């Protein structure tokens, strides 16, 4: 089909992948290639569906952008990018060869961009909206994650240290360019936190993410995901379908190797604002408890017991710098001798269980919906945490205090200065 004016589709997928990571060999790079091919091929089956993708590979210098659609938009110029022949790159040649109904357009950058920079993400989202006009968008992120610290890990040519995209920049980019996305889906480790949900509350309606380590094994079932993207489909129905199909996919050992459990949660971002009041009351109570030795000790034990998992534990992949929120609330609300603590804990637990978490999967029940940052308190926790980096602690603490959740609740007073 020749390029021309195309009417707005009911749905489109905007896929943003950062695989340019020097620390993982070629593993995430190869996985990203397979995932991108699956997304593009799945879109080919659905006539009222289009995909815009950006990927920063490790083995191929530079950033690529691509569009898969039944009819392409009229060609336009994008600063820093030029048209590329699909046949000149093995991945795009393979994808183009598999398309039966759609057309592929590929662009490559003129210079090596850092895909973990906010302006690069914003430029891609503008590109996606221009090339794939739609009533509703599913935004897919693939790369490394570090809980409330941020997402992605990328380095410009010549830079010694890689950048991480802060949650505030991620949220602002999606909110300002896509307006309010229907669903944000993360194939990113440990990004399902209250900090993330609160930051994204105005950027999208729903979020699908994991509070644990996410393996690169397996290719997600994109054809199944996209069957729910039909005209008139409600955002919640689409989100529920994707979350449940993903949970079924992750039940197969081959798709979650080497881990016994890869929990995923569907978060209602419209309910994220409701956590602020009880979390603020809880933070105030815990801060006041520092002056009460017995209360502080009891609260400290409850918080420490709410840490779930280690990144290298195949039976329980998680991060010792993250608390399971519902576990924390359950333990703190049992401290009935201290109602100033137990009351807000009960209220927060109810909001998370009844409003924020729409659905979640966990084979072993250790991850119960979402997480919250709490600075490691032992050497072992520090050494095994991917979220907390002692070398970057000062910078990360400054950024953490700037998060919307910290500003609204004061939880940073507890998270950055543990009790006990």
User: What tens-digit pLDDT sequence spans the chain (420 residues)?
Assistant: 445 455 789 999 999 999 876 665 578 888 888 999 999 999 999 878 899 999 988 776 678 999 999 999 999 899 889 999 998 888 899 999 999 999 999 999 877 788 899 999 999 999 999 999 999 999 999 999 999 999 998 765 445 455 889 999 999 999 999 988 999 999 999 999 999 999 999 999 999 999 999 999 899 999 999 999 999 999 999 999 999 999 999 999 999 989 988 999 999 999 999 999 999 999 999 999 999 999 999 999 999 999 988 888 888 889 999 999 999 999 999 999 999 999 999 999 999 999 999 999 987 778 999 999 999 999 999 999 999 998 888 889 999 999 999 999 999 999 999 997
Q: Which domain holds residue 394?
A: 274-415
Same domain, 250 and 368: no
For 221-317, list the strands marked E by DSSP: 264-268, 307-308
Q: Does residue 341 lie in a domain region?
A: yes
Whether 46 and 150 map to the same domain: the answer is: yes
Buried b (16+ CB within 10 A) or exposed e, 127-139: bbbebbebebbbb
- Cβ atoms of 266 and 239 within 8 Å: the answer is yes
Whether 262 and 397 share a structural domain: no
Going by the DSSP 8-state scheme, the letter that residue 354 receives in this structure is I
Q: Are 231 and 48 in contact (CB under 8 A)?
A: yes
Asked whether the CA dihedral 374, 376, 378, 380 is positive or negative, the reply is positive
Query: Do residues 73 and 176 share a domain?
Result: yes
| Count of alpha carbons within 13 angstroms of residue 183, beta-carbon side | 28
Answer with the one of 273, 291, 317 that is the final residue of a domain.
273
With 0-12 CB in 10 A as exposed, 13-18 as middle and 19+ as buried, what is 291? exposed
Q: End of a domain among 213, 242, 273?
A: 273
Last residue of a domain, one of 243, 273, 303: 273
| Same domain as 245, residue 317 | no
- Residue 3 maps to a domain: no
Residue 2 in domain:
no
Asked whether the whole model's pTM tops 0.85, one would answer: yes
The angle, 0 to 180 degrees and rounded to 10, between the axes of the packed helices 90-98 and 27-44 is 30
Distance (Å, whole) CA 246 – CA 243: 5
383: in domain:
yes
Is residue 248 located within the same domain as residue 101?
Answer: yes
């Amino acid at each position: 089909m020749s390029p021309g004016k195309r009417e707005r589709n009911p749905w489109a997928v905007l896929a943003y992948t950062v695989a340019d990571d020097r620390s993982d060999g070629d593993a995430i790079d190869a996985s990203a290639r397979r995932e991108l091919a699956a997304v593009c091929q799945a879109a080919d089956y659905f006539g009222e569906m289009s995909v815009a993708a950006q990927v920063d590979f490790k083995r191929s210098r530079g950033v690529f952008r691509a569009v898969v659609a039944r009819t392409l938009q009229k060609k336009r110029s994008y600063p820093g990018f030029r048209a590329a022949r699909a046949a000149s790159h093995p991945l795009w040649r393979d994808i183009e060869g598999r398309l039966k109904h759609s057309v592929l357009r590929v662009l490559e950058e003129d210079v090596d961009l850092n895909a973990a920079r906010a302006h690069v993400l914003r430029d891609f989202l503008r590109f996606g909206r221009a090339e794939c006009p739609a009533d509703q968008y599913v935004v897919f992120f693939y790369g490394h994650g570090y809980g409330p610290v941020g997402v992605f890990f990328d380095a410009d040519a010549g830079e010694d240290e890689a950048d991480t995209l802060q949650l505030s920049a991620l949220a602002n980019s999606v909110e300002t360019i896509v307006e309010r996305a229907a669903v944000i889906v993360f194939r990113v480790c440990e990004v399902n936190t209250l900090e993330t949900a609160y930051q994204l509350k105005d950027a999208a309606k729903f979020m699908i993410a994991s509070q644990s380590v996410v393996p690169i094994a397996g290719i997600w079932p994109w054809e199944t995901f996209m069957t729910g993207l039909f005209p008139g489909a409600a955002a919640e129905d689409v989100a529920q379908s994707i979350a449940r199909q993903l949970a079924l996919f992750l039940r197969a050992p081959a798709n979650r190797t080497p881990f016994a459990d890869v929990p995923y949660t569907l978060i209602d971002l419209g309910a994220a604002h409701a956590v602020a009041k009880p979390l603020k009351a809880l933070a105030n109570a815990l801060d006041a408890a520092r002056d009460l030795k017995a209360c502080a000790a009891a609260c400290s034990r409850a918080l420490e017991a709410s840490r779930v998992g280690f990144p290298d534990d195949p039976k329980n992949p998680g991060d010792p710098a993250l608390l399971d929120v519902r576990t924390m609330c359950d333990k703190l609300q049992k401290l009935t001798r201290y109602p100033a603590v137990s009351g807000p804990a009960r209220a927060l637990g109810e909001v998370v269980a009844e409003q924020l978490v729409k659905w979640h999967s966990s084979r072993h029940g250790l991850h119960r919906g979402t997480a919250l940052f709490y600075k490691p308190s032992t050497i072992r926790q520090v050494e095994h945490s991917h979220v907390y980096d002692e070398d970057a602690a000062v910078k990360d603490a400054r950024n953490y205090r700037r998060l919307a959740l910290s500003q609204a609740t004061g939880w940073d007073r507890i998270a950055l200065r543990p009790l006990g």
